Every structure is written in C-alpha cells, then in structure tokens.
Structure 1
Amino acid sequence: MIDFRALQQQFMAHIRDPEKPAPQRVPAQRMAVYRELMLNNVGSFIDSGFPVLKSLYREADWQALRQRFFAQHDSHSPLFVDIAAEFLAYLNGLEQLQPHDPPYLKELAHYEYLELKLDVMPEADHQQPLSVQDDLVTTPLLLNQVAEIGQYRYPVHYAAAHQCELEPVETLLLVYRNPELEIAFMVVNAMTVALLARLSVDSPVTLGAVISALQQQFDQFPAEVIEQGVIQMLGQLARCGVVVKPLG
C-alpha cells in the first residue's frame, strides 16, 4: 500500500509537471496522453469561468498561466465552480505579476468568479420577489441571497471593451441575479452599499428602520434627502430583484 501510494504521488507529480520524474515502467507517450487529458479538462473549466480574463492574453501566455496553476496549486475539488475558486485563490496568492498580466488581474478574476458563483447559487426557499402591489412602507424587506458587492481599484466591468487599457478608479459593483434569472450588475456608491448593509438575508426589516439608520449614519445630509434617496433606491433594487420579501 505504501508503495502504491508513492506510485500515485509520483504519477500525479509528473502529470502536473513533466520536469519531475515519471513512474518507472510507464511509457512516456502514455504519460503525455494522461497529462494532456487532465490539463485540457481543468483548462476548459478555467476558460469557461474566466472568458474576459482569457481574452486579454495571447494564447501562449494564457496557456502558460493555466499550466502554472495546474503544476503549482493544490486543488481539493473537481467541481466546476470549485475549480474556478481554486484558480482565483492561486491568482490571489501570486506575489508578483508577469509583464503581460493586466494590473487588475486579481480583481477581474474575482468579478468573473462572483458572476459564476451567483449564477449557480440556489434561490433562497424563504424569499420571494416583491410585486407591484407591495407597499415598501409596510412590506418587510430582505436582501436576496443571490447578490453580492465587489469592491475594486479598477472598473473591471469595462475590461472586455477596453482590454488592458483601464485607469485606476475605485469601483463598487453590485452583482446579482435578476428576475429573468440572468446575472447582472450595477455600479453603486457608498450610500447604496450602506443601505444594502442594513438589509439581511434572513431577518426582515422595515423601510422606516432603514431610513432611520442611514439618517444617523449620514447625518451630514438633510434627513429628507436621505429619506427620498432610500425610497428611490429601494424601489430600483426591488425591480431588479435585489430586495425581496419573506415567503408567505
């Protein structure tokens, strides 16, 4: 058993990095086939999970990045979304970027992973959308669990259009699944983030409680301005499916 375990470890070490010795009595051609199959399998998950990031690289540079991840990072799950999380963890652990890496490499990867994560997240069974008949004043409010804020130093949502030419701009993105079950985003400001922080996935709150809390937090603004802003933003978030209500 010990010898078999050692053989397994040597087999996988060579599969991940062909510079390491291959197991004895296993033909090199067969090992190359195994390596290509595994690398392509993992690589296809990465390609489909990070399409915008991939588009910023020359093919050879992207393949080299995938190979370094395959050789250097210990992943613990074969599931698609988990491999994407492992790739993000690998990128976050890089101490130095390569000259051809975009300066916002880690942030764009986080944004794309966030889209993937929310796309496969199940709906909460205790939540339901608000309808046009619901009165925000009297309806208990919840935050849809399929929504999350990303905070970035670059406007990563422009990466696909502008390629690598992005100037640093502090950016807050609300990523969510809309009523049509599509992943969407909106650029938000600090006050909207504060509003969302007052909402809970599990514990309903009232419109009045949210307004009161934000009036205290942003007491440099007139109370009526905060009230109007909260009502307007909650209405928009409700239409997008970000703000929901308890089931039943």
Structure 2
Amino acid sequence: MQFQQIQHAFINHIKDPEGMPIPEGVADSRMAVYRELFFNNVQGFVSSAFPVLKSLYSEVHWLALVRHFFKNHQCTSPYFLDIAEHFLQYLQQSYKITEQDPEFLLELAHYEWVELYLATKPLKVLETPLLPEQVNQQPLALSALALVLVYHVAMHQISVDFKPAVGEPEHCYLLYRNSEDDVKFVAINQLTALLLQTLQQMPGVALDTLVQQLVPLLPQFNTAQLMQGAQSILQDFATKGVLVSFQE
C-alpha cells in the first residue's frame, strides 16, 4: 500500500471509526489514541466557541452533533478560530436540523460565532474614537469592531431555563469590542438598527447627510425629529467607542 493510500485510510478511519476500517498493519490500540486525540481536540474547540448552544443539549446529543460535523465536514485549517467558523458553515450549509436541536440553532450559532470573531479580529488600521461633541462636526464611521445584527429570537435571553420561540418581532443588536477588548452587546430597536446600518454603508458621511438618507425611509418622523434622535443615539454610541474618525 502506497504512503498516500495509508494516509487516506488513516484519516478516513479517524473521521469515521465505525464505518471505515483500520489501516492495514496498524494496531487498534494505537489507532484508539489518535481517534480520541483528534475528536477531543475538535470537540473542545467547538464547545469553547459555542458554550450557550452546547448548554442546550444533553452530553450525548452534543457529542453526536460534533461527531457528525467531524465526520462529514471537510475542514481546511487546524486553527481554533477556523474550526469554529467551519462548524457554523456546516450547520448553515449541510446539517439537517432534528427534533433534538433548538429551533433557533442557526441564529444562536451565528451570534456566538460573531462574539468570537469580534473578540479576535485584528485591526488593520488604528482607530480614533469620536467624542460625543464631535458627532455634529466630524465625518462619521462605525468601528470595524462593531456589527449590527438582526435575529428572530432574543439572543441575550437564551439559557437552559429559557428557550424562546422563533418569530416576530425582530430582535436587533449592536455587538462591539471596547477599548478593554471585551465584546459587548446592546439590544437596539429597529430604528436605531436602520440608522447604524445606513452609517455602516456610508462611512465618512456627515450627520445631516445621514439623516437625509433616513427621511424617505421613516416618513412618520420629520427631519427635525430624526436629527434630534440620531444625534442623541450617536452621541451615546460615541461614549462606548463605537463611532470613530473616518479614514480614507
């Protein structure tokens, strides 16, 4: 047997010990060490990245879910962060949800992955936070370490004791990493989410121009009301370090 064939047989058995035979000439006791090592590493990475999701499963069902991922998904990187992203992709693209899974499986997995993503994302360019009094004076930009997210479940309320039903209304969040490198979330209403999403799409916009973009989208408010509300909201987020000086 060629080395490449042995290598493939080794990998196939590690991923699917029940369905694939042990490579020829290798003792089961030796393979058992590798089977346990590889799976436990992946299981540990996934469990660390998705702690709330894990808490909603029995130990047996959680291990079965991770085993299914380990067996069926082709990971292209051994790094912890990449394995977490691969697990999310697997759930979104390949996994068939069962009665053992929470109804909000995909949204919760995404929310927890975003927390990890923001916690570890490197900044390519050093950002300068805006002061609240600069909101009216400076071109505005949302920090690269901030994301506006919309889900059909109140993510921050999910626990072993509370599993909300999926439905309306939409639940909007701003997740961001602060100056102490802690990831924080703010539950926001749909109007605030629209304001921040518009800002995210128009980095460098001035406050008055930003408000003008909102006027046709929110006909129930006049320009003065929108200006007052937008200024107050953005000043609050400036104190959190979410607004930064625009850089070309």
Same fold? TM cut 0.5? yes
Counterpart secondary structure, 1:150:
strand
- 8 A contact 2:118–2:183 mirrored in 1: yes
Residues 28, 202 of structure 1: CA spacing in aligned structure 2 closer, same or farther, 3 A cutoff? farther
Residue 102 of structure 2 is aligned to residue 102 of structure 1: yes
Q: How many residues align?
A: 246
1:28 positional shift: 0.8
Match of 1:155 in 2: 154
1:123 positional shift: 2.8
- 8 A contact 1:10–1:22 mirrored in 2: yes
1:190 positional shift: 2.6
Match of 1:12 in 2: 11
- 8 A contact 1:143–1:243 mirrored in 2: yes
1:128 positional shift: 0.9
- 8 A contact 1:141–1:207 mirrored in 2: yes
Counterpart secondary structure, 1:199:
helix
Match of 1:53 in 2: 53
Read off the aligned partner of 1:164 and give its amino acid letter.
K
Residue 172 of structure 2 is aligned to residue 186 of structure 1: no
List per-residue Cα deviations over 1:98-118 (Å, max 9, x = no partner).
222111111100000000000
Q: Aligned equivalents of 1:123 and 1:53: distance in 2?
A: 28
1:162 positional shift: 3.8
Q: Aligned equivalents of 1:50 and 1:115: distance in 2?
A: 10
Q: Aligned equivalents of 1:149 and 1:211: distance in 2?
A: 18
Q: Aligned equivalents of 1:95 and 1:63: distance in 2?
A: 15
Residue 237 of structure 2 is aligned to residue 224 of structure 1: no
- 8 A contact 2:55–2:160 mirrored in 1: no
Q: Aligned equivalents of 2:137 and 2:26: distance in 1?
A: 71
Residue 92 of structure 2 is aligned to residue 92 of structure 1: yes
Q: Aligned equivalents of 1:151 and 1:203: distance in 2?
A: 20
Residue 81 of structure 2 is aligned to residue 81 of structure 1: yes
Read off the aligned partner of 1:15 and give its amino acid letter.
I
1:148 positional shift: 1.2
TM-score by length of 1: 0.91
Query: What runs of 5+ residues in structure 2 fail to find an aligned partner?
Result: none
Name which of structure 1's ranges 112-121 and 57-66 shifts more when overlaid on structure 2: 57-66
Read off the aligned partner of 1:158 and give its amino acid letter.
Q
Match of 1:237 in 2: 237
Counterpart secondary structure, 1:160:
coil
- 8 A contact 1:159–1:166 mirrored in 2: no
Among the aligned pairs, what percent are the same residue? 38
Q: Aligned equivalents of 2:34 and 2:192: distance in 1?
A: 50
1:239 positional shift: 1.4
Residues 88, 154 of structure 1: CA spacing in aligned structure 2 closer, same or farther, 3 A cutoff? same
Residues 84, 95 of structure 1: CA spacing in aligned structure 2 closer, same or farther, 3 A cutoff? closer
Q: Aligned equivalents of 1:78 and 1:95: distance in 2?
A: 21
1:119 positional shift: 0.4
Q: Aligned equivalents of 2:4 and 2:26: distance in 1?
A: 16
TM-score by length of 2: 0.91
Root-mean-square deviation (CA, aligned residues, Å) is 2.1
1:124 positional shift: 4.5
Counterpart secondary structure, 2:138:
coil
